[in-house]
């Protein structure tokens, strides 16, 4: 049921650890220790999912992604690499890879990525790169949580490269929260519509713009209500109304972001985070 | 009045005391924005070094169209709000306005830039609707297509004055221009393009934008500019809708597209651009 998954990793220790963890979680595992071994395995067997290291002595995971997606588009593929090269993430998206796992990662991250791969509906999770300059990227994604999760896996590599861990989680949370807002409330899960997400990284500041195609919402009213209510009280109130703590997301971002600006329509948000002091 | 000879035109466009050059700062910025290797750091630093450019980008990013509630006060946030494509288009528009301002009458410049931005926007919207990507060259071509008019004003103001007396210089057509002053703005535009060292494809658009649409079976940049120019009267009207009066030759690339869609898409863009243009010209 869980499908056949191939791990492509030249570093034996990592590969064995991954294989063991995934096997114990019910996946059927194939191991390849090089780019070429991966190609041979792909020729011989039907593989449902691939998780491949980007940098290997005899070829790159990005190249492998291109081959896999061309030969058998239904095969899911995740790349794994360090956070040191911003370009890897962008090339990864262009290669058609589905997810990106930033090294080093914990077992739980690996399991989550593999699960995301298994559950992915690719037709509802398109990512287009509208513009790309070092430090400045413009993405257009399908209005779906899948697309957002996919994009975030690639963005994480870029963000981890410039932010310390605490700040990284602030930004990650903000993108998840406001990205989901755009998908759910802005575009109402209509996969015909898109969410535009731009990110700029200059010096020590990360600037993010998220824009949906919806009619927007009254941001001022929300922020005023939120600011008038202390967080714990707000949490209780939302629980009592059995609402998901959505408004709290904005409230938290309002506190962690250095700048939070909405447009008048309430369908575009701009956030800025400064890295450290 | 003597007819405008080719020699006088050719000397005129080459005389750099007469005709402006494209502002170096804008050219550099455009080159930087167009280069996929340029980082946001480099782009922002270059723009920040030009206070008037910075001010203009901030003005537009803070404009009612973008509708930001709090002030955007840094060039990086302005760039992210505007996006790569719009930034590039703004730089070009600012460039062409500042090239001619002070050299031709403000009213004329305003008319010319309004029309040019309209055509440029139409080109980029139609290219989108048709699913073609020309990497922004279509905007440049649309923006510059009629600059021959401006060049005539600078090189031969008395001839330009005569044209103005005899009707609307933008709609009178090349034949009437030829008959009146011995030259037309398409010819002059081509010379200008050569003097400015513009790409051949842009020069071609400046020279051929009033030709017939008959040969435009496939979507090309010159064909796109011709089509956008052809649509200008509809675009300038308040209500689009009525498309019956824009007949197209058989097999024209746009006959498979919905003219209504195109006109509405362009109108939408123009609502934003109208305001942006005012901000830039002021
Ligand atoms: Fe013209």
The string of pLDDT tens digits covering residues A94-112 is 999 999 999 999 999 999 9
Average pLDDT over residues A9-27: 96
Q: What CATH number was assigned to the domain covering residues B1-19+104-282?
A: 1.10.3210.10
How far apart are the CA of A198 and the nearest CA of chain B, in angstroms? Answer: 7
Q: Which residues on neighbouring strands pair with residue A268, listed in sequence order?
A: A211
Chain B residues within an 8 Å CB radius of A90: none
Tell me what percent of the residues of chain B surpass a pLDDT of 70.
Answer: 89
Nearest Cβ partner for B81 among A136, A265, A270: A270
Q: Are B17 and A111 in contact (CB under 8 A)?
A: no
Whether residue B83 and residue A262 make contact (CB cut-off 8 A), yes or no, is: no
Give the pLDDT confidence score for residue A1 in this predicted structure: 44
Domains contained in chain A, number: 2
Contacts for B65-69: CB closer than 8 Å, 24+ residues apart = B65/B271, B65/B272, B65/B275, B65/B276, B66/A263, B66/A268, B67/A263, B67/A264, B67/A265, B67/A268, B68/A261, B68/A262, B68/A263, B68/A264, B68/A268, B68/A270, B69/A219, B69/A220, B69/A261, B69/A262, B69/A263, B69/A264
CA–centroid distance, residue B167 to ligand 1 (Å): 14
How far apart are the CA of B232 and the nearest CA of chain A, in angstroms? Answer: 28
Q: Is residue A203 domain-shared with residue A161, that is, in the same domain?
A: yes
Q: Is residue A38 domain-shared with residue A105, that is, in the same domain?
A: yes
Q: Are A51 and A116 in contact (CB under 8 A)?
A: no
* Residue finishing a domain among A120, A155, A179: A120
Whether residue B67 and residue A261 make contact (CB cut-off 8 A), yes or no, is: no
Q: Is the pLDDT of residue B174 over 80?
A: yes
Q: Is residue A150 domain-shared with residue A248, that is, in the same domain?
A: yes
The per-residue pLDDT for range B200-213, each reduced to its tens digit, is 999 999 999 999 99
E strands, chain A, in order: 4-8, 28-32, 49-53, 55-56, 59-60, 76-81, 99-102, 127-133, 136-142, 194-202, 205-211, 259-262, 268-274
Q: Is residue A216 domain-shared with residue A90, that is, in the same domain?
A: no
Chain A residues within an 8 Å CB radius of B84: 130-131, 133, 136, 138
Structure letter (DSSP) for residue B211: S
Kind plus residue range of the DSSP H or E element containing A114:
helix A107-119
Domain that holds residue A164: 122-277
Q: Is the pLDDT of residue B217 over 70?
A: yes
CA–centroid distance, residue A212 to ligand 1 (Å): 38
In B, minimum Cα distance to A265 occurs at B67
d(CA B208, CA B107): 26
In B, minimum Cα distance to A272 occurs at B77
Token pair belonging to B4: 């405008």
The per-residue pLDDT for range A220-259, each reduced to its tens digit, is 666 666 667 666 776 677 667 665 555 678 878 888 999 8
Nearest Cβ partner for A263 among B44, B68, B79: B68
d(CA A104, CA A113): 14
d(CA A66, CA A196): 25
Structure letter (DSSP) for residue A275: -
Quickly tell me which residue has 């790169």 as its tokens. A129
Q: Is the pLDDT of residue B196 over 90?
A: no
Q: Is residue A146 domain-shared with residue A108, that is, in the same domain?
A: no
Name the pLDDT band for B61 (thresholds 50, 70, 90): confident
- Interface check for A191 against chain B (CB to CB < 8 A): the answer is no
In B, minimum Cα distance to A264 occurs at B67
Q: Are A102 and A160 in contact (CB under 8 A)?
A: yes
Q: What is the DSSP string of A203-265?
A: TTEEEEEEE-SS----HHHHHHHHHHS-HHHHHHHHHHTT--SHHHHHHHHHHH-SEEEEBTT
Which CATH number goes with the domain that contains A115? Answer: 3.40.50.2300
Q: Are A211 and A139 in contact (CB under 8 A)?
A: no
B238 phi, psi to nearest 5 deg: -60, -55
Does the predicted interface ipTM exceed a cut of 0.85?
no
Q: Are A153 and A100 in contact (CB under 8 A)?
A: yes
Question: How close are the terminal C-alpha atoms of chain B, in Å?
Answer: 35
CA–centroid distance, residue B241 to ligand 1 (Å): 24
The pairing of strands A28-32 and A4-8 is: parallel
In A, minimum Cα distance to B70 occurs at A261
Whether residue A134 and residue B40 make contact (CB cut-off 8 A), yes or no, is: yes
Q: Is residue A134 domain-shared with residue A259, that is, in the same domain?
A: yes
* Domain extent listing, chain B: 1-19+104-282, 21-102
Average pLDDT over residues A143-172: 93
Quick one: how far is CA B237 from the chain centroid? Answer: 19
The pairing of strands A136-142 and A127-133 is: antiparallel
Q: Is residue A55 domain-shared with residue A77, that is, in the same domain?
A: yes
Interface of A with B in 197-236 (CB under 8 A): 198-203, 205, 207-209, 219-220
Chain A residues within an 8 Å CB radius of B76: 200, 202, 205, 207
Closest CA to A71 of A96, A92, A94: A96
- Interface check for A264 against chain B (CB to CB < 8 A): the answer is yes
In B, minimum Cα distance to A203 occurs at B41
Q: Assign A121 to helix, strand or coil.
A: coil
* Residue finishing a domain among A103, A120, A137: A120
d(CA B173, CA B146): 12
Q: Which residues on neighbouring strands pair with residue A195, listed in sequence order?
A: A141
Chain A residues within an 8 Å CB radius of B44: 202
Q: Is residue A50 domain-shared with residue A128, that is, in the same domain?
A: no
d(CA A239, CA B139): 52
In B, minimum Cα distance to A207 occurs at B77
Chain A residues within an 8 Å CB radius of B271: none
Q: Assign A29 to helix, strand or coil.
A: strand
CA–centroid distance, residue B23 to ligand 1 (Å): 23
Name the pLDDT band for A16 (thresholds 50, 70, 90): very high
* Residue finishing a domain among A120, A152, A170: A120
Which CATH number goes with the domain that contains A158? Answer: 3.30.565.10
């Amino acid at each position: 049921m869980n499908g056949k998954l191939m791990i492509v990793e030249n570093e034996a220790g990592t590969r064995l650890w991954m294989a063991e963890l995934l096997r114990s979680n019910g996946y059927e595992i194939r191991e390849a220790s090089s780019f070429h071994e991966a190609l041979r395995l792909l020729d011989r067997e039907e593989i449902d999912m691939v998780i491949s290291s980007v940098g290997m002595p005899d070829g790159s995971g990005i190249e492998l992604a291109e081959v896999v997606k061309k030969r058998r588009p239904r095969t899911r593929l995740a790349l794994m690499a360090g956070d040191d090269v911003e370009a890897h993430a962008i090339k990864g998206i262009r290669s058609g890879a589905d997810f990106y796992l930033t090294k080093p990662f914990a077992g739980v991250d690996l399991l989550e990525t593999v699960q995301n791969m298994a559950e992915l509906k690719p037709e509802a999770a398109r990512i287009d790169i509208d513009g790309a300059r070092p430090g400045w990227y413009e993405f257009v994604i399908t209005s779906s949580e899948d697309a957002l999760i996919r994009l975030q896996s690639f963005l994480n590599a870029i963000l981890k490269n410039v932010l310390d861990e605490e700040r990284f989680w602030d930004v990650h949370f903000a993108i998840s929260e406001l990205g989901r807002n755009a998908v759910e409330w802005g575009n109402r899960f209509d996969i015909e519509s898109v969410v535009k997400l731009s990110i700029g990284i200059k010096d020590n500041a990360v600037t993010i713009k998220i824009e949906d195609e919806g009619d927007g919402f009254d941001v001022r009213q929300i922020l005023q209500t939120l600011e008038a209510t202390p967080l714990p009280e707000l949490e209780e109130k939302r629980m009592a109304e059995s609402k998901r703590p959505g408004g709290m997301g904005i409230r938290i971002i309002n506190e962690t972001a250095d700048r939070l600006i909405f447009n008048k329509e309430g369908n575009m948000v701009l956030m800025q985070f400064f890295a450290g002091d | 009045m003597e007819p405008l000879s080719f020699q006088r035109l050719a000397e005129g466009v080459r005389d750099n005391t007469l005709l402006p050059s494209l502002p170096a700062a804008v050219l550099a910025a455009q080159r930087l924005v167009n280069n996929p290797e340029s980082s946001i750091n480099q782009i922002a630093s270059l723009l920040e070094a030009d206070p008037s450019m910075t001010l203009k980008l901030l003005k537009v990013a803070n404009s009612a169209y973008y509708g930001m509630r709090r002030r955007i006060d840094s060039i990086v946030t302005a760039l992210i709000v505007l996006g790569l494509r719009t930034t590039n288009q703004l730089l070009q528009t600012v460039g062409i306005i500042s090239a001619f301002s002070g050299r031709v009458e403000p009213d004329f410049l305003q008319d010319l830039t309004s029309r040019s931005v309209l055509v440029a926007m139409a080109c980029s919207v139609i290219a989108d609707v048709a699913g073609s990507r020309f990497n922004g060259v279509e905007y440049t071509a649309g923006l510059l297509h009629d600059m021959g008019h401006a060049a005539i004003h600078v090189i031969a103001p008395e001839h330009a004055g005569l044209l103005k007396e005899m009707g609307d210089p933008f709609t009178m057509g090349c034949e009437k221009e030829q008959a009146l002053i011995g030259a037309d703005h398409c010819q002059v535009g081509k010379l200008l393009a050569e003097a400015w060292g513009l790409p051949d494809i842009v020069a071609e658009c400046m020279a051929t934008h009033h030709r017939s649409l008959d040969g435009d079976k496939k979507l090309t940049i010159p064909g796109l500019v011709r089509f956008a120019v052809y649509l200008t009267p509809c675009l300038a009207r308040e209500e689009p809708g009525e498309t019956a009066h824009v007949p197209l030759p058989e097999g024209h690339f746009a006959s498979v597209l919905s003219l209504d869609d195109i006109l509405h898409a362009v109108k939408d863009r123009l609502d934003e651009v109208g305001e942006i243009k005012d901000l830039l010209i002021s």
